[in-house]
């Protein structure tokens, strides 16, 4: 009985940990940290920063937990940094932005995803920009961030909201289970299995191909040298 009670308490704590944010405190934090760009009551300032009404808790959690917001210069591409707010402050801000409407923070269960399916979906939907190894790259008009530090929750949030110039992936295009598979593949790609040999920093097939080219060219040069060697008369 006592065990059951303890379990109930732990469960209650765990579920409340998801939503411990206090919107009132979040509003105070918003006034000092965000209002100069996003405007009074998060209504946005034309030409500087968008309104956050309808942005939703998912977007707030993504931008704040990856340290992309607050942004020191509004014209710059938001890059991943160490978040200046602690977890409690982020939860408060997320609760406040969430109270203005929009999609909630998604729940991700990576264990429900399938690794092989995740790789297929990642190759189809994400690898064009993020590279199959998830190490990022460039795109016309933006840098593509690496996914090394992204948590499964941040990956799902990014897919649903489409931050900066990234496209949106709606539930019709990628279901929750499919996104969980993708998140699982990204988790795997952070530290992929190595059957042996030199992993070359896991940055994908292009450098690996380059290295095999270099080795192949060296081998060819050796063959040429052996063949062309003149015997002493």
Binding site for other proteins (CB under 8 A): 46-50, 74-75, 77, 128-129, 139-142, 161-170, 172-173, 223, 227, 230-231, 233
Smallest distance, Å, CB 124 to other proteins?
Answer: 8
Partnered with residue 142 across adjacent β-strands are 139
- Toward other proteins, which CB reaches closer, 11 or 220? 220
CB nearer other proteins, residue 16 or residue 141: 141
Residue 232: CB minimum distance to other proteins, A: 9
Query: Cα–Cα distance between 151 and 76 in angstroms, integer?
Result: 23
Nearer to other proteins by Cβ, of 1 and 232: the residue is 232
Q: Rounded CA gap, 171 and 169, in Å? A: 7
Residue corresponding to tokens 């900066």: 164
Residue 11 or 165: the one with the smaller Cβ distance to other proteins is: 165
- Sequence-distant (≥ 6) Cβ neighbours of residue 136 within 8 angstroms: 129, 130, 143, 144, 145, 146, 147
Instruction: Considering the complex, state which of residue 111 and residue 140 has its C-beta at the smaller distance from other proteins.
Output: 140
164 contact partners, CB below 8 Å, separation of at least 6: 77, 78, 142
CB of 178 to other proteins, least distance (A): 12
Residue found by looking up tokens 């006592």 in the block: 2
> Contact at 8 Å (CB) between 39 and 45?
yes
Spatial CB neighbours of 188, under 8 Å, sequence gap ≥ 6: 115, 118, 119
Shortest Cβ distance from residue 45 to other proteins (Å)? 10
Smallest distance, other proteins to C-beta of residue 115, A: 21
């Amino acid at each position: 009985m006592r065990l059951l009670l303890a379990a109930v308490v732990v469960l209650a704590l765990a579920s409340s940990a998801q939503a411990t944010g206090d919107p009132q405190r979040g509003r105070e934090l918003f006034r000092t940290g965000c209002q100069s760009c996003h405007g009074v009551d998060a209504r946005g300032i034309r030409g500087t920063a968008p309104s956050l009404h309808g942005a939703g808790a998912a977007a707030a959690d993504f931008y704040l937990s990856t340290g992309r917001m607050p942004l020191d210069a509004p014209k710059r591409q938001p890059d991943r940094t160490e978040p200046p707010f602690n977890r409690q402050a982020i939860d408060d801000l997320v609760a406040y932005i969430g109270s203005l409407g929009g999609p909630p923070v998604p729940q991700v269960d990576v264990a429900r995803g399938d690794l092989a399916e995740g790789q297929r979906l990642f190759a189809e939907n994400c690898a064009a920009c993020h590279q199959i190894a998830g190490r990022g790259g460039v795109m016309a008009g933006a840098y593509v961030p690496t996914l090394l530090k992204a948590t499964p929750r941040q990956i799902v949030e990014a897919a649903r909201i489409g931050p900066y110039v990234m496209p949106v992936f709606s539930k019709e295009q990628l279901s929750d289970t499919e996104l969980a598979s993708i998140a699982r593949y990204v988790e795997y790609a952070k530290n992929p299995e190595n059957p042996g040999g030199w992993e070359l920093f896991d940055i994908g097939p292009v450098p690996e191909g380059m290295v095999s080219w270099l080795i192949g060219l060296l081998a060819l040069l050796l063959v040429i040298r052996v063949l062309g060697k003149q015997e002493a008369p």
